[in-house]
Amino acid sequence: MSSFKSSVKFDVVNFEGVVNFRLWKMQVKDVLIQVGLCAMATRDPCNLLENGSQTKNCMGLWSGTRMGWVPAPFSTSTSPRLSKFLKLLSSWTVTDRLRLFKADLREEGSFDEAVKGCDGVFHVAASMIFNVDQQDNIEEYVRKNVIDPEIKGTISLLKSCLKSESVKRVVLTSTISTLTGKDADGERRRLVDESCQTSVDQVWKNKPSGWVYSLLKRLSEDAAFNFASENSIDIVSVITSTVSGPFLTSYIPSSIRVFTAPITGDSDFLRILSNVNERMGSVAVVHTNDICRAHIFLMEHENAKGRYLCCVESCALSELVKRLSRHCAVNFQRSVDEKKNWMPSEVSNKKLKDLGFRFEHGIDDIINETIDACVECGFISRRKHNRSEKTVKKLYYSIWQVIRVGLVQNL
């Protein structure tokens, strides 16, 4: 692949008239935005970047002088989702520059035409499968039906990049699920960075909540970096922490469901959040705007190399619950979250910040804007416990603490 030059520039602008579709419109130059980035898009994307470079409009995928949108990783011409996106054409101001591509990550070469002529490719599509219900031969099932297709699709896209002879960099979306806050002896690390990868063998063995997603992301990322190294592809990955804040999708993204689980009381997503806290030693978060900006930053920065952890702050789950409870009633009481004198691990963003990236939103912004977005779409309510309810809960908790201490003393 040709050497990277920091000539790729982006500007994200509002897409008027399509609020029901919860998508965004981008101005980009010679870049293919692969399926999925819209899921991380912000409610006010025009604030992401402003630059004076000459750009062209596109949505989703862009290839050279053409633009296109692949509505789903496994889309077909008869897909109901495709007809939904076709309606966007009436809202597009320059329809002669918008082109739809039919592509299937399961078919090698499917992205050749879309990638052709691009300077850069964002690969953000991934199956958000946390667990599976399969009981018999579960490991074989996960390998065959989840992990292998993910790896095959990623390598297929990278092969398309090679064929293009124009792509200079690939930015891959990874996840903090590929990291751990414990060392080989199971001891807690005080600092967690990009080098603290999860043990694949341990995940297969223990199968913690969210184990399928952790494996498919870890193994597909490893495969991508190995293929890139063997074929001289410039690849950079963004390790996303728990992404939350405003969103543009017509559904509630999984990351939002995880983040708000203490409010909703959703047991499945609450287990995932608790597992993150246990595995990492804290919960690391990032605003939707900042994670999008980080992708763009790493595409543009010519010195970017390797893996970059993207989080603005991390805190113990008990602290996160406390902060959430200031805004909404929580359905999750975590009485003894950590051992006495236990300090939460710090999830480091040093590598990304040392490269020059600056976060614009702290954890309070993330909480406020997440709740605003969720209240607006009716997912949660700002209803808080009244004073008498709080008093009763505190009384019950005090009684339980007394009983617990008494039981311990009698052992």
Among 38-47, 123-132, 136-145, 208-217, which is the least confidently predicted range?
38-47
Mean pLDDT of the chain: 73
Confidence (pLDDT) at 280: 92
**67 lies in a domain?**
yes
Answer for the pair 92, 59: CB distance below 8 angstroms, yes or no: yes
CATH assignment of the domain containing 16: 3.40.50.720
Residue 173 lies in a domain: yes
Q: What are phi and psi of 183, to 5 degrees?
A: -85, -175
Q: Is residue 150 part of a domain?
A: yes
Residue where the block lists tokens 């980080």: 294
pTM of this structure: 0.75
pLDDT digits (tens, 9 = 90+) for 360-373: 999 999 999 999 99
For residue 295, give the amino acid letter.
H
Q: What confidence score (pLDDT) does residue 389 get?
A: 52
Total structural domains within the chain: 1
Predicted confidence at residue 315, as pLDDT, reads: 94
Residue 407 confidence (pLDDT) above 50? no
CA–CA separation, 5 vs 169, rounded Å? 9
Full domain range(s) for residue 70: 10-251+281-316+344-361
Question: Residue 189's pLDDT is what?
Answer: 92
* Of 67-81, 93-107, 166-180, 357-371, the least confident: 67-81
Query: What backbone phi and psi angles, to 5 degrees, belong to 336?
Result: -120, 90
Of residues 376 and 93, the one with the higher pLDDT is: 376
Q: Which of the two residues, 146 and 104, has the higher pLDDT score?
A: 146
Confidence class for position 381, pLDDT limits 50, 70, 90? confident
Give a yes or no: residue 370 inside a domain: no
Looking at the predicted structure, is the pLDDT value of residue 8 above 60? no
Beta strands in 254-407 (DSSP E): 283-287, 306-310, 313-315, 346-347
Mean pLDDT on 36-43: 36
pLDDT digits (tens, 9 = 90+) for 130-144: 777 767 788 888 888
User: Sign of dihedral through CA atoms 285, 155, 42, 256?
Assistant: negative
**By mean pLDDT, which of 84-88, 237-241, 277-281, 406-410 is the weakest?**
406-410
Q: What is the pLDDT of residue 174?
A: 93
Structure tokens at 241: 């922490």
Q: Residue 292 has which token pair? A: 């999008």
Question: What is the mean pLDDT of the segment spanning 206-226?
Answer: 90
Q: Which residue in 84, 217, 384, 394 is the catalytic one?
A: 217
Lowest-pLDDT range of 7-16, 98-107, 273-282, 346-355: 7-16
pLDDT tens-digit readout, 249-265: 778 888 999 999 999 98
Asked, for residue 99, whether it belongs to a domain, the answer is: yes
Residue 126 banded pLDDT, cuts 50, 70, 90: low
Residue 217 known to be catalytic: yes
Distances (CA, A) of 8 to 131, 161, 239, 305: 38, 16, 21, 16
335 within some domain: no
Better-predicted residue by pLDDT, 65 or 368: 368
Give the pLDDT confidence score for residue 67 in this predicted structure.
Answer: 29
| Paired tokens of 116 | 């052709």
Classify residue 192 as exposed, middle or buried by CB count within 10 Å of its CB (0-12, 13-18, 19+): buried
- Percentage of the chain lying above the pLDDT 90 cut: 37
What is the DSSP-derived secondary structure letter of residue 132? -
Whether 71 has a pLDDT exceeding 60, the answer reads no
Q: How large is the average pLDDT for residues 69-89? A: 42
Percent of the chain clearing pLDDT 70 (strictly above): 64
Q: What is the pLDDT of residue 91?
A: 53
Do the Cβ atoms of 361 and 313 come closer than 8 Å?
no
